[in-house]
């Protein structure tokens, strides 16, 4: 079914996501890298290049982290692409191996974040919002209002996304909020940007994730069954006239290119990690990824089609809403979840017979990065 390219994931690892008040990014970053190396059965000396994703950790933070692992003189590239930072670091590692520049590359994402909302891109906000620095919840409240007006999407359907993702996170020991909640809990939580409540918004987080990619011939010499990368796509935005267009066009285009590159269709997917920074984002991304028709995203979650072992399992890790969202780490952590699912290693949240997985992140400002992996 798939013409396998020559790049595989041979090892993954991550830290727990949370506050990490007493740890530095070097501390939990090293945890993730050490775990990925152990998973691959490799010493750090086997890594020929490292792509380090971080958005807020300062200059040459990748070097500061990797010097804790071992100063081996390899090329170290620092990557920033907003929420798609980790995804872009992984994409760069894949491209380096695919091009034959190196045989083995490390992608690592890490971030230590403080509490409080991040500013949005002021181009996307109404004038009154722009004057208040346009925090991201306000922007996604606008996305909901536009989607609801056009398609009838409801607050209750948004709450169902959060309920599902928290339920999944309750089976993920690395998740920031591994608690089960109900629709009433989500709707009744503190209002952030009407109608988005606190539990419809992802938290700021700290944590790290790492993935090692290698040529297929090298991968066959390692102890774990490799997971093949059948598509890796990075796109930038085109002009968008409103918030809804800003979260649809770039992602729909990136998804189309990824399916074309992999020779697959949305119906072939078993498990998806997507950019559910707010509950409405997951609903819109169902549509962007072709899981349902435009405007049917609310019904998709309401009918249980995105639950574990539904039509396609979405955010099995708990997603950004419950697992957490350390900007630089998120995209690589999605790869960790997909790889473990395709290996059958996800325990109580395991997706039955998972063979094909997709990871998606959108970095506002803008970037969209999609990877498709196959067991």
- Domains parsed from the chain with CATH numbers: 7-115+203-374 (3.40.47.10)
Q: How far is CA 17 from CA 23, 147, 233, in A?
A: 12, 31, 26
Position 239 scores a pLDDT of 78
Residue of 91, 166, 285, 325 with catalytic role: 325
Position 117 scores a pLDDT of 67
Length of the chain: 375
Q: 176 pLDDT exceeds 80? A: yes
Instruction: Examine the residue annotation and report whether 325 is marked as an active-site residue of this protein.
Output: yes
Average pLDDT of the residues in 155-175? 98
Q: 147 pLDDT exceeds 80? A: yes
Position 5 scores a pLDDT of 53
Position 365 scores a pLDDT of 76
Residue of 83, 201, 277, 361 with catalytic role: 83
Which of 30-44, 121-135, 236-250, 287-301 is predicted least confidently?
A: 121-135
Query: Measured between alpha carbons, how far is 8 from 218 in angstroms, rounded to an integer?
Result: 9
- Contacts (Cβ under 8 Å, ≥6 apart) of 18: 176, 205, 206, 207, 324
Question: pLDDT of 347-370, one tens digit each?
Answer: 999 999 999 999 999 998 789 999
Instruction: Examine the residue annotation and report whether 83 is marked as an active-site residue of this protein.
Output: yes
Q: 201 pLDDT exceeds 90? A: yes
Position 241 scores a pLDDT of 74
Could you give the dihedral angle defined by the CA atoms of residues 146, 282, 367 and 67, in that order, rounded to the nearest 10 degrees? 150
């Amino acid at each position: 079914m798939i013409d396998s390219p020559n790049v595989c994931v041979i090892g993954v690892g991550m830290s727990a996501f949370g506050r990490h008040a007493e740890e530095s990014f070097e501390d939990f970053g090293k945890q993730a890298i050490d775990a990925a190396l152990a998973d691959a059965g490799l010493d750090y000396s086997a890594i020929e290049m490292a792509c380090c994703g971080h958005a807020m950790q300062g200059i040459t933070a990748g070097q500061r982290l990797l010097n804790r692992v071992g100063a081996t003189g390899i090329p170290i590239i620092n990557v920033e692409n907003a929420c798609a930072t980790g995804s872009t670091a992984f994409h760069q590692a894949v491209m380096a191996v695919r091009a034959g520049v190196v045989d083995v590359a490390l992608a690592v994402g890490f971030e230590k974040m403080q509490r409080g909302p991040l500013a949005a891109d002021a181009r996307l906000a109404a004038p009154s919002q722009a004057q208040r620095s346009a925090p991201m919840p306000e922007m996604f409240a606008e996305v909901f209002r536009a989607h609801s007006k056009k398609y009838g999407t409801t607050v209750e359907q948004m709450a169902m996304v959060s309920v599902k993702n928290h339920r999944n996170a309750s089976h993920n020991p690395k998740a920031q909020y591994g608690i089960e909640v109900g629709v009433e809990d989500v709707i009744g939580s503190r209002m952030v940007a009407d109608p988005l409540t606190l539990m419809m918004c992802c938290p700021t987080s700290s944590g790290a994730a790492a993935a090692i990619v290698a040529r297929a011939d090298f991968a066959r010499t390692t102890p774990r069954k490799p997971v093949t990368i059948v598509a890796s796509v990075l796109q930038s935005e085109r002009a968008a006239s409103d918030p809804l267009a800003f979260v649809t066009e770039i992602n729909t285009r990136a998804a189309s290119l990824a399916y074309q590159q992999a020779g697959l269709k949305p119906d072939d997917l078993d498990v998806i990690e997507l950019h559910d920074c707010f509950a409405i984002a997951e609903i819109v991304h169902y549509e962007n990824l072709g899981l349902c028709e435009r405007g049917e995203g609310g019904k998709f979650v309401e009918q249980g089609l995105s639950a574990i072992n539904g039509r396609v399992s979405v955010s099995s890790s708990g997603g950004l809403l419950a697992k957490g969202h350390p900007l630089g780490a998120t995209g690589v952590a999605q790869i960790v979840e997909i790889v473990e699912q395709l290996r059958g290693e996800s325990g109580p949240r395991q997706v039955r017979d998972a063979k094909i997985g997709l990871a998606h992140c959108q970095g506002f400002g803008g970037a969209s990065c999609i990877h498709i992996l196959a067991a």
